[in-house]
Amino acid sequence: MPFSAERAVPPSMPLTSTQLKNLENHNYSCAGRSLAEYPLQYFWNWLVRFVPIWVAPNTLTVIGLAINTLSTLVLFYYTPHASETAPSWVYFLCAISFFVYQALDAIDGKHARRTNCSTPLGELFDHGCDAVSLAFVGLAVPCSMRLGDYPLYLFISYLTTLVVFYCAHWRTYICGTLEFSQIDVTEAQLSMMMVHLVSGVCGPEIWRKTVFSWFSMDIDIQFILLNVSIGAVIVSVLRSIQIVLKGGQGKNGSTIADTSVLSPSIPVLVVLFLSDYIYRTSPAQILQTQPVIGGLLIGFVCAKLCINLVIAHMSKSGMVLMDHILLPLFAVYVNIFIGSPVPEFYWTSLMMAWACYDVVSSSIKVCQQLCVHLNIYCFYVGKRSPPSPQADPAVPQT
């Protein structure tokens, strides 16, 4: 029986037939360039020439993610409560690894065009790795600044970082183009590297140095950076509101998928509500005393939501508003709500592992589906053998 677009997709397959078709026809669109990108482009264009032609672009992306994640895990090992001082070499390792990740993330697209293997999978893979990486590096910076001694600072700074990234893809879902301002992600990444370098040279105590006093209150560097972070969130949210009020590229001002421009706010508001409740009411103060475990739980949840938003944008489809990735965070909420019958540390650790598994397993399934549908390999330059005409492209072939 010939393949039909209306045919039901097996439950194990995350993408529908219509989404796969739209992803196949997706074209990457971006506008603008930040200030730091102009000089860095010369370096990235020089660097990509040293990448062997036989190396797949996605391999560069995943290597950068692995290096960045491993170095961050080393930092977490020495600073599990974000209040300890790690050896200087750990901060230097994080800075260098983040620089390597940024470089590989910047040249993977150049290498894809160079090898004539640019595909929608590459864009989705790139943004997905960025979302996962942010869950780690967004928490690594507070660890380098020893913000665990000021848990509210840490909680706010981490959440604001996640929200800014989400809003950027929300705007893309509305207008169809990923827009960069003069101060954007590249500058944020360079700032994060600088934090690690300064902590390595001067020690994390430098961030508590008083800059000036104002109305009998000592203003330290941490306070200034926190307010800058909050300011970035306000600007990002205001830009999103402006785009929402202007209307999207879909029918009657809707998103490019002809869905409500406000719909992507639902899952992120759920995350903010649950996170705030856990922070305020946890008897064990789990987010205050275990910021790495609790933060990674929230980070993995937001990473999956961002990936869903990217898929919705690229496939011109409605976003999954109540994804099961919210269940681990909701389970922590329920445990606290009923009086914490399960010790919070063990329960939160288990939910964090569940959220991590959910992100990884669902991402693998999406990549497998796209590879089969596009007849390509994820980590190899070349085409697969064409599928049988009777094969359903929504189902991976064995």
* 249-304: pLDDT as tens digits: 777 778 888 888 888 999 999 999 999 999 999 999 999 999 999 999 999 999 99
For strands 217-220 and 30-31, give the pairing.
Answer: unpaired
pLDDT of residue 348: 97
Closest CA to 15 of 366, 367, 259, 362: 366
Give the 3-state secondary structure of the chain: CCCCCCCCCCCCCCCCHHHHHHHHCCCCCEECCCCCHHHHHHHHHHHHHHCCCCCCHHHHHHHHHHHHHHHHHHHHHHCCCCCCCCCHHHHHHHHHHHHHHHHHHHHHHHHHHHCCCCCHHHHHHHHHHHHHHHHHHHHHHHHHCCHHHCHHHHHHHHHHHHHHHHHHHHHHHHHCCEECCCCCHHHHHHHHHHHHHHHHHHCHHHHHCEEEEECCEEEEHHHHHHHHHHHHHHHHHHHHHHHHHHCCCCHHHCCCCCCCCCCCHHHHHHHHHHHHHHHHHCCCCHHHHCHHHHHHHHHHHHHHHHHHHHHHHHHCCCCCCCCCCHHHHHHHHHHHHCCCCCCHHHHHHHHHHHHHHHHHHHHHHHHHHHHHHHCECCCCCCECCCCCCCCCCCCCCC
Q: Which residues pair with 214 in a beta bridge?
A: 217
Radius of gyration of the chain, Cα coordinates, nearest whole angstrom: 22
CA distance 322 to 266: 8
Q: Distance between CA atoms of 389 and 77, rounded to whole angstroms?
A: 52
Torsion of CA 303, 242, 172, 97, to 10 degrees: -50
- pLDDT tens-digit map of 169-187: 898 888 888 887 777 888 8
- What is the predicted pLDDT for the residue at 213? 66
Q: Annotate 84-117 with b (16+ C-beta within 10 A) or e (fewer).
A: eebeeebbbbbbbbbbebbbbbbbbbbbbeebeb
In order of 74, 196, 237, the CA distances from 87 in angstroms are 11, 12, 37
User: Residue 252 has what pLDDT?
Assistant: 75
Q: How far apart are CA 43 and CA 37, in angstroms?
A: 10
Domain 20-208+216-374: CATH architecture, name and number where available: Up-down Bundle (1.20)
212 vs 107: which has the higher pLDDT? 107
Q: Which amino acid is at 300?
A: F
Catalytically annotated residues = 127
Confidence category of residue 387, pLDDT binned at 50, 70, 90: low
Checking if the pLDDT of 19 tops 80, the result is: yes
For residue 121, the one-letter residue type is L
> What is the average per-residue pLDDT within 35-42?
89
Query: Does position 385 have pLDDT exceeding 70, yes or no?
Result: no
Q: Are 247 and 261 in contact (CB under 8 A)?
A: yes
Q: Is the pLDDT at 322 greater than 90, yes or no?
A: no
Specify the pTM. Answer: 0.89
286 and 280 Cβ atoms separated by less than 8 Å: no
- Could you report the per-residue pLDDT of 347-380, keeping only the tens digit for each? 999 999 999 999 999 999 999 999 999 888 888 8
Nearest by Cα to 7 from 310, 391, 384, 397: 391
The predicted structure's pLDDT at residue 10? 42
Residue whose C-alpha is closest to residue 18's, from 34, 6, 31: 6
Q: Is 236's pLDDT higher than 90?
A: no
Place 207 in a pLDDT band, splitting at 50, 70 and 90. Answer: confident
At position 167, the amino acid (one-letter code) is: C
Q: What is the pLDDT of residue 95?
A: 96
Which pLDDT band holds residue 44 (cuts at 50, 70, 90)? very high
Q: Give the N- to C-terminal CA distance of the chain in Å, as an integer.
A: 19
Q: Are 57 and 108 in contact (CB under 8 A)?
A: yes
Region 180-207: mean pLDDT is 88
pLDDT higher than threshold 50 for residue 243: yes
| Residue recorded with tokens 């941490």 | 222
Q: Is the pLDDT at 9 greater than 70, yes or no?
A: no
